[in-house]
Every structure is written in C-alpha cells, then in structure tokens.
Amino acid sequence: MAWQFERVAGPYQGPHGGVLRDGDGVIFSAIDAGLLLRFDPKTKAATEVRRYTNRVNGLGRGPNGELYGAQEGGRRLVEFTPDGRVMPVDALLDGAYHNQPSDLVVDRAHRIYFTDPRHAVIPFGPAIFPFLDHCSVLRLERNDRRAWVATRVTYDTVAPRAVLLAPDEKTLYVADGEPKEDQARELRAYPLRDDLTVDHPAVLHTFGADHRGPQRGIEGMCRDADGNIVAVAGWRRGGPGPLVYVFSPQGAVIASHPFPADMPNKCCFGGAGLDRLFVTTAGGELYCAT
C-alpha cells in the first residue's frame, strides 16, 4: 500500500535540509532562513529552536545525544550545545579547508562521516580558502589530545549527497552524483575495513535519464526498523517523479512511494513509536507519512 503524506509544516523561506528525531517530535533545518525548528506531532506546531545557523543542511546525533549540523555557509560541521552555543567541529584536511558539508552520520565510537560536495551554482562559505580538487566523503574523529582530525574516506565520488551507516557499522552507504549529464547518480555500499578504510563499493542502484534530462538521485537516507534503506529522490523534471524508495541492504527495491511535493531532501523516522516518516523538501516544507 502506498504511503499517504501530509504537509505538517511550512513552506518556509528556501529549502529544508536535515530532519532528525527529537523525543516524540523532529528537529529540521530551514537552510536559507538560517533556522532550526522543532515539530511536535501532539500540538502540530513548529517552533523555533535556533537562529543564525548559517545554512545548516544535514543533521546528526552523537552517541551521547550531541546535535551536529553540516554547515554549508561555514564550510564546516558544528555542534549545537544544550546551553545555546554553536561550537565548530572542524579540522583541515592535509592543511586545506574542505568544501561544503551537506549530510552526516555519527557512529557509536563518535566518529563523524560526512559528505563534502561543492555547490554547483553559488559557492557558499568563505571563498578566501580554495576548494578541494575533489568531492569526497570525509571522517572526523578525535585524537589523543581531543582535537578533531579529518581523514578522506572515498576517492571515487564526484558529488556525494547523502551518507548512512548499516546497523552493524560495517557498511557505509553513499548517494553520489548530481542530476547532470556527465555524472552518474548512484547508491553505493562501501565495506568498512577494520582500519576504517573502505573497500570497493557495490553499486546498489543507478538513476537514469530520458528525453527530459537526467533523473535526480538520492538526497537523503535513513534506516527503518528492519535495517532497510529509506531514501528520498527524484523531481518532476524527469524520470518517475519525486519518490520515497525502500531498498534492502543488498539494493533490491522493496517499495517505492510517490511523494506529493517536488524535490524531497532529507528523511527520518519519528513519533512515539518511530513509525512515522518525516520528509523535508526543497520547497521549504515538512511532510509526514500517515
């Protein structure tokens, strides 16, 4: 049975980015507006949590409840502390500033994996620092002095958009590629070795093109209770349109659900029973599967 989606918040200024469970509700980012908001399913109200976030896109939780954001505008990751501060979580990669983080996931050892593409139209962030000559998945972890250290994880990505870990944290799922003629849009599964380097990836799904142009690939992913990958992708310009996909860990398409708004961006499960899927959109809206 196809899921039915209801718009529960928005539209707000500009696109919405990350969405993350927060108790019975969810926290989500309004990228252009520079806001974090919280939606409460009980009151059906969205309230402001943080201002001046400087284009935070993806959101993630640390093992002790830490709230992290991928800050496109600052070209870094940040932590939103409970006392209202915004703390930088960044490190140079071989002496260079990275690009524009868009999504992140944190493992149980408090290592942060994040996608680091470059914005194709407007290069948000401090332009005084050159961009990297690659767009990769990077990892941040603390050293013995508690300082963050950056490591490059992928060497074959061209525009990573979303990242997710398997339940056992032995596989890193990466959605790579923008909807351009010269880029493949793929869902990849990278085996993680014991030393945290990645093996050759398996390509689980590829998005094609038609006479209208390339299909838009995956922008956001989360896991369901069975360990399947729930991903949001597509647009009205080409292909089958906006969809919510459910993939098995091996890449089989278990289900696909038409989505009512164009360009879904990020997704997560929330609600008291973690049984409601929340999806943000490029149109500044928050939807919930009912």
Q: Is 270 left (phi over 0), alpha (psi -120 to 50) or beta?
A: beta
Q: How high is the pLDDT of residue 83?
A: 93
Which pTM does this prediction carry?
0.96
Q: Which of 24, 30, 25, 21 is nearest to 285 (CA)?
A: 30
Half-sphere exposure (Cβ direction) of 257: Cα atoms closer than 13 Å: 21
Q: How high is the pLDDT of residue 21?
A: 95
Q: Which of 243, 181, 189, 184 is nearest to 212 (CA)?
A: 181
**Measured between alpha carbons, how far is residue 212 from residues 215, 232, 234 in Å?**
9, 20, 13
The token pair at 19 is: 């969405």
Q: Distance between CA 31 and CA 17 in Å, rounded?
A: 6
* Residues of the chain below pLDDT 70: 1, 120-127
pLDDT in tens, 27-84: 999 999 999 999 999 999 999 999 999 999 999 999 999 999 999 999 999 999 999 9
Quick check: 176 and 169 in contact, CB under 8 A?
Answer: no
The token pair at 201 is: 């990836």
Cβ atoms within 10 Å of 146's Cβ, excluding its own: 6
Q: How high is the pLDDT of residue 13?
A: 80
